[in-house]
Amino acid sequence: MDRLKVDLGARSYEIVIGSGVLKDLGVLLRSLGQASRIMLVTNPTVNDLYGEQLRAGLGVDDKHLILGMIPDGEEYKTMEHALRLIDLAVEHHFDRSSLIITLGGGVIGDLGGFVAAIYQRGIDFVQVPTTLLAMVDSSVGGKVAVNHPRAKNMIGAFHQPRLVLIDTATLKTLSSRDYRSGLAETVKYGIIADRDFFSFLQENAELINRRDETVLQHAIRRSCEIKAAIVEDDERESGVRAILNLGHTFGHAIETCCGYGTYRHGEAVAMGIVLAARLAHRLNLLDTAEKERILALMDALGLNLPIPNLPPQKWLNVMSQDKKVRHGRLRLVLPTAIGQVVIRDDIDPALIEEFLSRPD
Ligand SMILES: NC(=O)c1ccc[n+]([C@@H]2O[C@H](COP(=O)([O-])OP(=O)(O)OC[C@H]3O[C@@H](n4cnc5c(N)ncnc54)[C@H](O)[C@@H]3O)[C@@H](O)[C@H]2O)c1
Ligand SMILES: [Zn+2]
């Protein structure tokens, strides 16, 4: 069992990583103190696979544990479903010492975490991520949200979990699309902050594709360390945290333009990373050898995906509506070398539009 601390003063917490650690949740929770009641937020897919194992490890009797079941899919990450969980909490007399446990991917973590953030002005929650994306990204850092019909993650809060428990054995059942989707966020950390980690991913690409647990545990730990360090510096994204958005401005626009659900979040991010590398190269911010290395790793991990043919003007418009826009200026995170990025808000939109018409 590997443990890592996210140091945020009174909001500090541990990330516990290991294979088969679901069964240890009960012991870990008891060290955090006793919860009056627990709501397990999950979906039927994950509940069928891991619900029993988690409940057995919790060792809580049935009257203290209630199930907050949400249908499987991004389209259920809504205010309506958050309110259903709140109804359930009220009905079962949840109070400020009650706890929410989220068991699932980023959708469940974001939704359950959002409910924890707003119920009685905030109660404790614990993240048990079961997708690679949730393990390396969404479960750490305290961003929780639901979607607005017209914009992703538009209703949300910063609310840190009390604990993140990552059981890498759960990755065995993940679909290859969802697995690859999580890899995109992993590569992101190498590009934004750690050249050695990028090399590690490159050297181990084959083992990663085979889901080798030892290699994965290292990749997950390093990803969490990098994310934790960035969040510790800038919990509420007033500065450096924005570098985590590498690939996301292009990517979110692809998700929105193509309709939610067409691409996985990580697939759109993979496309966004490729586009950011190509644009940075076109702007002479990134040299050819570095760009080629980035593209080669994306290829090796099956992340160099065909980019949909979107009208550049529409694409740019949607990018300009992104949450990452500040004072009306489009902000892009662009690599200048592997391990280094810059945030630029001074790139001529006409130039971006021209790039989007021939993004290769
Ligand atoms: N809060 C943040 O900082 C942050 C960061 C990145 C992404 N996100 C959000 O995360 C969401 C995407 O998360 P995701 O990619 O995990 O998608 P997801 O939660 O929809 O999970 C993908 C699919 O995998 C299934 N699944 C989960 N665990 C499984 C397992 N172990 N075995 C088999 N199937 C399993 C799920 O039921 C689902 O069908 C988006 O809503 C995105 O906005 C949030
Ligand atoms: Zn992301």
Q: Are residues 185 and 36 part of one domain? A: no
- 102 with 127: CB under 8 angstroms? yes
What's the CA gap between 347 and 183, in Å, rounded? 29
The confidence score (pLDDT) of residue 140 equals: 95
Would you list the DSSP string of 117-154? HHGGG--EEEEEE-SHHIIIIITSS-EEEEEETTEEEE
Domain co-membership, 143 together with 202: no
Phi and psi for 227 in degrees, rounded to 5? Answer: -65, -45
Residues with CB under 6 A from ligand 1: 43, 45-46, 49, 72, 74, 77, 104-108, 110, 130-131, 133-134, 137-138, 141, 143, 153, 170, 173-174, 178, 181, 264-265
Asked if 93 is an active-site residue, the reply is no
Of 43, 75, 78, 107, best ligand 1 pocket probe by most atoms within 8 Å of the beta carbon = 107
Q: Find the helix or strand (DSSP H, E) in which 76 lies.
A: none
**Phi-psi region at 302: left, alpha or beta (left = phi > 0; alpha = psi -120 to 50):** left
Task: Say whether both 61 and 150 belong to one domain.
Answer: yes
In which band, very low, low, confident or very high, does the pLDDT at 182 lie, cut at 50, 70 and 90?
very high
What burial letters (b/e) apply to 173-187, b meaning 16+ CB within 10 Å? ebeeebbbbbbbbbb
In a 13 Å sphere around the CA of 340, the CA atoms on its Cβ side amount to 6
Among 147, 173, 199, where does a domain finish?
Answer: 173
d(CA 275, CA 249): 10
CATH number of residue 338's parent domain: 1.20.1090.10
Residues facing 144 on adjacent strands: 157
pTM attached to this predicted model: 0.95
Predicted local distance difference test score (pLDDT) of residue 250: 94
Are residues 153 and 231 both part of a single domain? no
Q: Is 143 a catalytic residue?
A: yes
Lowest mean pLDDT: which of 107-111, 130-134, 213-217, 253-257?
253-257
Per-residue confidence at 149, pLDDT binned at 50, 70, 90?
confident
**Ramachandran area for residue 330 (φ above 0: left; ψ -120 to 50: alpha; else beta):** beta
- The vertex-231 CA angle with 38 and 213, nearest 5°, equals 70
Q: Give the closest residue (by CA) to ligand 1 atom 6.
A: 138
Give the pLDDT mean for 212-233. Answer: 96
**Relative to the alpha carbon of 270, which ligand is closest?**
2
Q: Whose CA is closest to 217, among 230, 229, 204?
A: 204
- Taking the C-alpha atoms of residue 108 and residue 104, their distance in angstroms, rounded to an integer, is 5
Task: State the catalytic residue, choosing from 237, 323, 344, 353.
Answer: 237
Phi-psi region at 9: left, alpha or beta (left = phi > 0; alpha = psi -120 to 50): left
Asked whether residue 325 carries a pLDDT value surpassing 70, the answer given is no
Q: From the CA of 175, how far away is ligand 1's center (Å)?
A: 11
Asked if pLDDT for residue 326 goes beyond 90, the answer is no
Q: Are residues 166 and 253 in the same domain?
A: no
Closest-lying ligand 1 atom to the alpha carbon of residue 134: 16
Is 259 a residue whose pLDDT tops 90? no
Q: What is the mean pLDDT of the chain?
A: 95
Classify 140 in phi/psi space as left (phi over 0), alpha (psi -120 to 50) or beta. beta
Q: Which of 173, 202, 221 is the last residue of a domain?
A: 173
Could you tell me if 71 and 43 are in contact, meaning their C-beta atoms sit under 8 angstroms apart? Answer: yes
Domain end marker among 112, 139, 173: 173
Asked if 162 is an active-site residue, the reply is: no
- Kindly tell me if the per-residue pLDDT of 328 is higher than 80: no
Q: Are residues 243 and 285 in the same domain?
A: yes
- For the question of residue 227 being annotated catalytic, the response is yes
Mean pLDDT of 310-315: 91
Can you list the alpha helix ranges (DSSP code H) found in the chain? 25-30, 44-46, 52-58, 79-91, 106-118, 132-133, 176-193, 195-203, 205-209, 213-233, 248-258, 265-282, 288-300, 312-320, 349-357
Residue 133 reports pLDDT greater than 70: yes
Same domain, 161 and 286: no
Does 63 qualify as catalytic in the annotation? no
Residue-number span of the structural domain to which 115 is assigned: 2-173
Q: What is the pLDDT of residue 324?
A: 61
Q: How far is CA 7 from the centre of its chain?
A: 19
Any idea what DSSP says for residue 174?
S
C-alpha 132/C-alpha 209 separation (Å) is 13
Q: Does 114 lie in the same domain as 217?
A: no
255 and 239 in one domain? yes
Phi (first) and psi of residue 358, to 5 degrees: -145, 70
- 74 labelled catalytic: no
For residue 43, the ligand 1 atom closest to its alpha carbon is: 37
Is 195 found in the same domain as 155?
no
